[in-house]
Amino acid sequence: MLKAKRKQVEQAADLRLQSQIGEQERFRDQLRRMARENKTAVVSFFVIVILMLAAILAPLLTPYEENEMDLLHRLQPPSAEHLLGTDEGGRDVLTRLLFGARVSLLIGVAPALLSLILGALLGAAAGYRGGMTDTVIMRIADVTLAFPSMLLAMVIMYSLGGGIFNVFLTLTLVNWANVARIVRSQTLKLRSDEFVEAARVTGVPDRTILRRHILPNCLPTLLVLFTLNIPAAILTESSLSFLGLGIQPPNASWGLMINTGRQYLYNAPWLCFAPGAAIMLIVLSFNFLGNGLLDVLDPRMKKQ
Amino acid sequence: MSGYLLEARNVTKLFPAAGKKKVHAVSDVSLQIREGETLGLVGESGCGKSTLGRLLIRLLAPTSGEVRFRGENITALKDSDFRRIRKEMQLVFQDPYASLDPRMTVRDLVAEPIETWRLCGSREEVTDRVRELLRAVNVPEEFLYRYPHQFSGGQRQRIGIARAIAADPSFIVCDEPVSALDVSVQNQILNLLRDLKTSRKLTYLFISHDLSVVRYLADRVCIMFLGKICEIGDTEEIYTRPRHPYTRFLLDAVPVPDPSVRGKEIRLLKGEPPSPADPPTGCRFRTRCPRATEKCAASEPELRYIGGVQAACYYAEEGPA
């Protein structure tokens, strides 16, 4: 599904470049239009903001500690004291969910940002310089893309060991190639655009052309890629943690919570449902927001 | 010193094409541009006009031959040594919609050359200079912080011209600067270019396929066909007495806004131009020329002087066919 979406991002970016003739909408106006017309995207945006706030304010929102055990009240169903029940160690599920949101959001945003920066720089360099630079960078990207991303992530995590920093690194290494490919194809097109030629004839140095003319014109596409990379990273982290390769206990992570809750699926299904629903909510929200942005940037969707 | 501002010597540009073929975009062109003149460059689409213009200002590197600027061979210069000359040469683009970065304000667009060459110290000085330039091209100053898409084609072209003159160049290639504009606006831009030329002592290479526009602006005119110069010389002389058959056809094809002339026989060129990837032997125009003989197929005519202008035709003296 993500592959198809990437394709769509690429096409929308192309069309955007082609449609430079005619009335051009400023990006700010486009966002305003999205807010008006695409309610799902707006709702998603607020869901994300609320989740972020909840993650940040987690200690203030619950009376329990993240790892506070209470073995007398293990596996309790949802109640007034424990809104989402307790787990096998008697820990409050809602509390762990909130603290887990920190991990998931951090894991979503940080590697998505890192891979975006890395991919954008390498992709722009490859597209603008061409020749050997292009060949070397893009062949490395091809090799990265040749592996199924989950497999690649598992191999890297296995050799590096668990821990949040290694998860960052892994997710960045898995995702940069996609960004690089899209940015490269855009750069290739922008490079032959007249306003880039105009900068060259003005004597602007190549590095400044990349920074001032090419990357800013890739920005809307990068924003969409960013919002689409976040859920991918969250899902990968959840899967890694589920497989025991990501975040290590006793720290909470949604994937990890599902993994441990799995053993009690018949007796205490809320252990899996709560983090599962949380993952679904956040992934869908980012996807809807990303789709909303994509629609805005796609001239075919433009309404009169 | 050769006494010319710009000189092209046997400049050839080949582009790789499908298969092993090469497209002869410009082949063996030599021409001189004097300081302060406007040289018009005329030819049909795909004849290599724009390529030649870009070769002269080193936006493209020639496959062979050299370009001299004020007597100095700029083709042989290293990029770092060429930088000081880069400032002297500018380009006004055909499409004012594509040649301005859509994400930059007018101020930043016009300031770019000033900042690149560090012509002003502080931000305020740069902005003042931008205001001055906008005044020079008749764009109201209050549009300083607008974006290109908020302007009409003519105004955008004015902004493009402001950019081109910002670093005080001496030579400007105008690559069909008015062909994307409404006729009513064309005149204003042409007059602006002409005024700027006098006030800033500019030299132009004016590329166009519009013969009347060239006649209005150019001191001398150069007619190109398929990467070669057919005829070059004084504008009025060539317009009144064309030597090369191709020039004659071009001039005949200009519509005459006079109904009394209508119905009179106008000779139009037959057929399509030959492919530049596979040009005919001898004279490149011979496949479409009513006067072509075996001599034209056997060897290529060189440019030679015929009464003040240069033409590349064996039968240039003989008048209309």
Per-residue pLDDT tens for A157-213? 888 877 778 888 888 888 899 899 999 999 998 888 888 999 999 889 888 998 888
Measured CB to CB, residues of chain A less than 8 Å from chain B are 20-26, 193-195, 197-205, 208, 212-213, 216-217
The pLDDT value given to residue B266: 63
d(CA B302, CA B29): 11
CATH of the domain at A118: 1.10.3720.10
d(CA B310, CA A139) in angstroms, rounded, equals 54
Q: How confident is the model at residue A298 (pLDDT cuts 50, 70, 90)?
A: low
User: Quick one: how far is CA B302 from the chain centroid?
Assistant: 22
Nearest neighbour of A198 by CB, restricted to B86, B93, B103: B93
Identify the three-state secondary structure at position B320.
Answer: coil
CB B235 within 8 A of CB B221: yes
pLDDT at A135 over 50: yes
Interface contact B98-A21, CB threshold 8 A: yes
Cβ <8 Å between B100 and A198: yes
State residue B114's pLDDT score: 92
Q: Check which CATH number belongs to the domain holding B56 and give it.
A: 3.40.50.300
Is it the case that residue A232 has pLDDT exceeding 70? Answer: yes
DSSP A90-105: S-BHHHHHHHHHHHHH
Q: Which of B57, B101, B147 sits opposite A213 (nearest CB)?
A: B101
B214-270 pLDDT tens trace: 999 999 999 998 888 999 999 998 998 888 888 888 888 877 777 776 655 566 677
Q: Chain A residues with CB inside 8 Å of B83's CB?
A: 203
> Residues of B with CB below 8 A from A203's CB?
83, 86-87, 113, 116-117, 167
B48 versus A18: the higher-pLDDT residue is: B48
Mean pLDDT for chain B overall: 86
**Structure tokens belonging to residue B266:** 């106008």
In total, how many domains does chain A have?
1
Measured between beta carbons, the chain B residues lying within 8 angstroms of A18 are: none
Chain A residue with Cα closest to B91: A201
In chain A, residues with a C-beta closer than 8 Å to the C-beta of B87 are 203
**DSSP secondary structure string, A161-181?**
-SSHHHHHHHHHHHHHHHHHH
Residue A272 pLDDT class (50, 70, 90 cuts)? confident
- Taking 50 as the threshold, does the pLDDT of residue A22 lie above it? no
SS3 track for B36-99 = CCEEEEECCCCCCHHHHHHHHCCCCCCCEEEEEECCEECCCCCHHHHHHHHCCEEEECCCCCCC
For residue A86, being part of any structural domain is answered with no
pLDDT of residue A163: 74
Reported as a pLDDT band with limits 50, 70 and 90, residue A20 is very low
Can you say how many angstroms the Cα of residue B21 is from the centroid of all Cα atoms in its chain? 27
Please report the number of interchain residue pairs, chain A to chain B, with beta-carbon separation below 8 angstroms. Answer: 68
Q: B302 vs chain A: nearest CA distance in angstroms?
A: 33
**B60 in any annotated domain:** yes
Closest among B39, B77, B26 to B197, alpha carbons compared: B39
Q: Do residue A20 and residue B147 have CB atoms under 8 angstroms apart?
A: no
Residue in B with minimal Cα distance to A198 = B99
The stretches in chain B having pLDDT less than 70 are 1-2, 261-268, 319-321
Structure-derived torsion over alpha carbons of residues A19, A21, A27, A32, reported in degrees to the nearest 10: -90
Q: Is residue B115 part of a domain?
A: no
Residue A292: the pLDDT is: 82
Element (H, E) at B32: strand B22-33
> Greater confidence, A174 or A13?
A174
Check residue B276 and report its DSSP letter: T
In chain A, what percentage of residues exceed pLDDT 70? Answer: 83
pLDDT for the residue A131:
86
Render B90-124 in DSSP notation, one character per residue: EEE-S-TTTSS-TTS-HHHHHHHHHHHTT--SSHH
- What is the rounded CA–CA span in Å between residue B57 and residue B204? 12
pLDDT score for A23:
41
Amino acid A304: pLDDT = 33
Is residue B267 in a domain?
yes
Q: Which domain holds residue B255?
A: 6-36+43-84+222-232+241-318
Is residue A69 domain-resident?
no
Rg of chain A (C-alpha set): 22
- How far away is chain B from the Cα of A213, in angstroms, using its nearest Cα? 7
Q: What is the Cα A59 distance to its own chain's centre?
A: 25
Number of domains in chain B: 1
Residue A219: inside a domain: yes
Q: Is residue B277 part of a domain?
A: yes
Mean pLDDT across A41-49: 89
Please name the residue of chain A whose CA is at the shortest distance from the CA of residue B84.
A203
Would you call B89 and A194 a contact, using CB atoms and an 8 Å cutoff? no
> Out of A187-196, A224-233, A265-274, B255-264, which region has the weakest mean confidence (pLDDT)?
B255-264
- What is residue B277's predicted lDDT score, i.e. its pLDDT? 77
Q: What is the pLDDT of residue A3?
A: 64
- Token readout for B135 is 């005044």
CB A58 within 8 A of CB A94: no
Which site among A20, A23, A27, A194 would you substitute to test the B interface, given the most B Cβ atoms closer than 10 Å to its Cβ? A194
Give the pLDDT score at A302.
44
Interchain proximity A20–B102, CB inside 8 Å: yes
- Going by C-alpha positions, the residue among A4, A65, A13, A3 that lies closest to residue A299 is A13
**Position B304 in a domain:** yes
How far apart CA B6 and CA B92 sit, in angstroms, is 18
Highest mean pLDDT among A7-11, A297-301, B104-108, B273-277: B104-108
Average pLDDT score over chain A: 80
More confident residue, A302 or B248: B248
In a domain, A79, yes or no: no
Least confident of A67-76, A141-150, B65-74: A67-76
- Which residues in chain A have their CB less than 8 angstroms from residue B104's CB? 212
Q: Domain range spanning residue A207?
A: 2-14+38-55+94-301
Looking at residue A34, its pLDDT comes to 72
pLDDT (mean) for A207-227: 85
pLDDT on residue B91? 92
Of A11 and A114, which is predicted with more confidence? A114
pLDDT at B17: 78
Asked whether residue B173 is assigned to any structural domain, the reply reads no
Mean pLDDT of A107-115: 87
Interface with B, mutate which of A18, A23, A202 (most B CBs under 10 A): A202
Shortest distance between the Cα of A196 and any Cα of chain B, in A, equals: 8
Are A26 and B149 a contacting pair at CB < 8 A?
Answer: yes
